[in-house]
């Protein structure tokens, strides 16, 4: 019998996206959007490369998923993202009506939870999946950045 994929499996895919951001000199945040155990969209931070403050991993993934599905609503979809979404991304997730958000590391300064940003009432949010791995990647990035400056 084939076992369905679990949250850890898809968060590892998001971490691969975060590594791609790291390799490009971007803050290492990655995201994937899944429907029916299939990754339909991927994204990672591109704010520096695109010179665009809105080019967060979640925004890239939301756009790709909407294009894949042919509509703006992400019903029955799950976003896996390595860092808790910020207010901007939470707002976009609200409007997309995504069914579920799973994040790795908390963002105690800019994250949507501490800032009381609302997601859509039907959206479920869970955190802490591979949080240590996501946090370590972020720490490694900022240590590297500080040592270069």
**Annotated binding-site residue? 56:** yes
112 labelled as ligand-binding? no
Q: Is 118 exposed, middle or buried (0-12, 13-18, 19+ CB in 10 A)?
A: exposed
For residues 47 and 61, give the distance between their C-alpha atoms in angstroms, rounded to a whole number. Answer: 14
Question: Quick check: 51 and 74 in contact, CB under 8 A?
Answer: no
Active site residue 58: yes
Of the listed 58, 126, 132, 133, which one is catalytic? 58
42: helix, coil or strand? strand
User: What is the set of active-site residues?
Assistant: 58
Binding-site residues for Zn(2+) sit at: 56, 86, 89
The binding site consists of: 56, 86, 89
């Amino acid at each position: 019998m084939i076992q369905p994929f679990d949250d850890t499996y898809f968060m590892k895919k998001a971490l691969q996206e975060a590594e791609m951001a790291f390799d490009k000199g971007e803050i290492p945040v990655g995201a994937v959007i899944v429907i029916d155990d299939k990754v339909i969209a991927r994204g990672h931070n591109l704010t520096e490369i695109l010179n665009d403050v809105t080019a967060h991993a979640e925004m890239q993934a939301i756009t790709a998923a909407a294009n894949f599905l042919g509509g703006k609503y992400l019903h029955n979809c799950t976003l896996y993202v390595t860092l808790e979404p910020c207010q901007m991304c939470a707002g976009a997730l609200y409007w997309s009506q995504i069914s579920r958000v799973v994040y790795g590391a908390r963002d105690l300064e800019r994250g949507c939870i501490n800032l009381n940003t609302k997601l859509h009432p039907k959206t479920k949010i869970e955190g802490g999946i591979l949080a240590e791995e996501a946090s370590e990647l972020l720490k490694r990035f900022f240590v590297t950045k500080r040592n270069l400056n």
